[in-house]
Each structure stands twice: as C-alpha cells, then as structure tokens.
Structure 1
C-alpha cells in the first residue's frame, strides 16, 4: 500500500450556544428552522476519530476484508457530511484554513474516499470506485498518489487519453526531486504517461517518458522492458 496522508487533526468551530437558544425544545428548533427556510442540521459526534477509522479501513484492505473497509470509510464520509450539513461550498482536504470559496476538511476524509475507491476496485466494482477516486482527487488536487490511482482505473478500461491526463496531473503536482521521498510516485506517473502514449502509437513520446522515469527509479524493470518493447515496435513499424 502506498503512502497516505499522515495526521488527522481537524479544526472545529467553537461557536457557543446562548442561553436563549439552549432553552428551546428540539421540536421548536426544527419548526423555527423550517420557518426560516433552512432545514435543521443533524447532530454529529464531536469526539469521532476519523483518522483511526481510516487506519482501520486500510488494515481491513490489507487483510482482504474490503467490504468491512468500505463500511469504515463510509463512517468517515458520513460524519463529514453531517458536519458540513447545508454547506454548499466545495471541500478541500488541508490543515490550513480556507482562503477562497472552499471549506477546509480533515485530510482523513480524502483518505476515506480514496480507500473506499481502492476497496471497490478490489471488489470488482470499478463503476462505483470511479466516483470515490474522482472525489479524492478533487478534494486533494495536490496529491499525486491519488491522481496516479485514478489514472490506473482509466488505463484498465483502455481509455488511454483520460488515463494519460490523470497521470499528467500527478506529474504536474509531484515533488520533482529525483532522490526525494516522492521519487517513486513521480516515476510511476511518468511510466503511466509513457504507457498511454505507447498505446496510442506515439512511440517517441513514450520512449522519452520512460527514459525520464529512470531518473527517479533507475532499477525499474518495468521501464526497461517497455523501452525494449517500444524499440521493437519502432523497428518493425507497428
């Protein structure tokens, strides 16, 4: 399993209740809310540990219990939905506060969408996994690992252009240091781009991408093998 977000700290707003509102019965609150045209927000557990649920979910995947993993990830997603009930702003997983029209949410929520998609693919439900992986990449646009996995889904469908585009997004945001902690992720993005270019018959571009990937993963047998395949295809003109 590849590297996932570390840390699940989440900032909670702490707006207190005044003495008047706390004295109103729940039924009265519901009626008042509808009178204002806004449905009453459902309650949620402020002590809920999203990070712990995510860790348990990935542990379930490693143990081959994908269905149980999905249930754990769903709890994290549902909890976030309750917290943001009625908030129509786009969601981004980040620690710092929002600086635009989006709302900041716990990074564990992105992990939950990604983990659910990963588990669904293992369960043969790529049709359902697509929405989860797309959500993860949209909520964490700077996560190259998520983009790589999303690209793999399209590659499995032989949708070469969409797969290439997602690998390209991963390459665009990944750390470019050849000896950095994300070197493996960068190499995978380049190999994925190369694979799709080769599948589309663009062998020169594919060769260049695979060669570049070796700067990040010099021992990659996959890249070496694909470079050999491309050389043979170019030699016979196929």
Structure 2
C-alpha cells in the first residue's frame, strides 16, 4: 500500500521524466539525451564513452512499468542503470553530477539521476519509504539544479512530519527554480512555495505560512490545495491552536 506521500501524481512525474525521452530542467526546456555514454570525462564532453548501456531507454521502460503497476520489475531496471554507473566509477572518489559541466566531478548521463528518482518512487509505492529516502536523496544531490527532484524529496519528510527537514528541501527547490509566474516551471515553483507554507503552518508560524501560500497563488492561481490550507491556517489562528 502506498505510503502517505503526496508525490504530485504519477502522471505529472512521468510527463517530466519520460515524455518525449526528455529530461526536465529547471528552465522548463527539454534536453534530449541520445543513447550514449553513461559516464563521460569530467572536463572533456567529447570523451570516448566508457559504457554503451542505453541508460535512457532502461529508465523509460522502468517508468512504463511503474505506470503499469509493476514496481518491482521497474526497480530491477533502475538498479541496472545505477549498477552500471557504480561499476564504471569504481574507485573514483570525485562527486557525481548529472550535468553537462562540473569541475572536479564525474559527469553522469541524466538518466542515472532519473533511475535513482524512479527507484525511490517505486519503493514508496511498495511501502518501502525507508529505502526510498536514499534514492531520492541521491537524485537530488546529483542533480542539484532539479527543483522537481527537490520537491519530491521534501514530500518524503512532510509525510514523516519532519517539518524542518521538509521545509529545507522545499526551500532548496524554490531557490533553484525559474521564478517567472508565467514561465514553464510556474507549477513547480508554486509547489515549492506551498510546501514551505504548509510546513511553516505546521510549525505554528502562521503569518509566514500565509505569506508563502498567497505567494504560491501567483504561480498557480487555480490551486485548491493552497486555498484550503489558507483556510486551515485562518481557523487555527482564530481558535489559538
């Protein structure tokens, strides 16, 4: 049975991680990753690939399996991608980044981060939130510019009522997301602000919570979630709880 984690809907996640074989970026554009190296040289993007595993194809199949309710099979495909990266980087102490550039880092195909994220999502579906945390953390840390990943990681802490940790991850998502209210990432920004507002409300910081929730409505004016939470905060303030 799915743990109580509001992961924003599988359809939305699949749209960001799978549709068009594209990997979401915080500027809202799609960066198409061709079947190529899983790991490339840290400073030379023309380096000879050290692996010919089609990581993106494996990840796409994994998300298809999640959509079909076959989470355990999806985990096996995601593990294949993760294990290949680990094998290629055995003994390499450099930090790992799913990015095009990064001085001093081992650069990974973005599909590797998607594999960690997908594995975490599948494990949540399987009721293994304890194991999912490490995967979602890995995806977030290896793709530090991906606000969508940060929002999802924050949701895990929110489900555990770990308000400070949840707020910190939502705040990280807000710090890196494109902040144009009419931009393609507007709903990702709104979600980060809603999460920050919700956690502030749970910590009894009602004025700050209301401010953040109202701000989120600038990015997603139709959000019933934000309006409902504003109502909850108003009631709590009225009764002094």
TM-score by length of 2: 0.82
SS in 2 for 1:214: helix
Q: Does residue 147 of structure 1 match 2:150?
A: yes
1:156 aligns with 2:159: yes
Aligned to 2:73: 68
**Residue matched to 1:85:** 90
Match of 1:115 among 115, 118, 124: 118
Unaligned runs of 5+ residues in structure 1 are 16-43
Aligned to 2:33: 8
- Structure scoring higher RCO (CA < 8 A, sep ≥ 6) equals 2
Whole-angstrom distance in 1 between the partners of 2:85 and 2:59: 13
Q: Please name the residue that 1:223 is paired with.
A: 226
* Structure 2 match to 1:24: none
CA shift, 1:109, in A, is 0.3
CA distance in 2, matches of 1:185, 1:191: 10
Partner of 1:170: 173
Deviates more, 1:87-96 or 1:210-219: 87-96
The corresponding residue for 1:28 is: none
Three-state SS of the structure 2 residue aligned to 1:104 is strand
Distance (whole Å) between structure 2 residues aligned to residue 95 and residue 126 of structure 1: 31
3-state SS of 2:127 partner:
coil
Distance 1:14 1:183 in 2: 38
1:229 is displaced (CA, Å) by 1.1
2-structure distance, mates of 1:103, 1:176:
29
- Structure showing greater Rg: 1
Q: In the aligned structure 2, how far is the partner of 1:153 from the partner of 1:169?
A: 14
What's the secondary structure of 1:149's corresponding residue?
helix
**CA shift at 1:85, angstroms?**
2.0
Between the aligned partners of 2:89 and 2:167, the Cα distance in structure 1 is 34
**Corresponding residue number in structure 2 for 1:57:** 62
- Cα deviation code 1:121-164 (max 9, x no counterpart): 11000000000000011100010000000000001101011000
Q: Give me the whole-angstrom Cα distance separating, in 1, the residues matched to 2:151 and 2:174.
A: 9
1:8, distance to aligned residue in structure 2 (A):
2.8
**RMSD of the TM alignment (CA)?**
1.4
In structure 2, what is the Cα distance between the partners aligned to 1:194 and 1:176? Answer: 17
State the distance in 2 between where 1:133 and 1:7 align.
Answer: 22
Count of residue correspondences: 207
Kept after mapping to 2: 8 A contact 1:53/1:76: yes
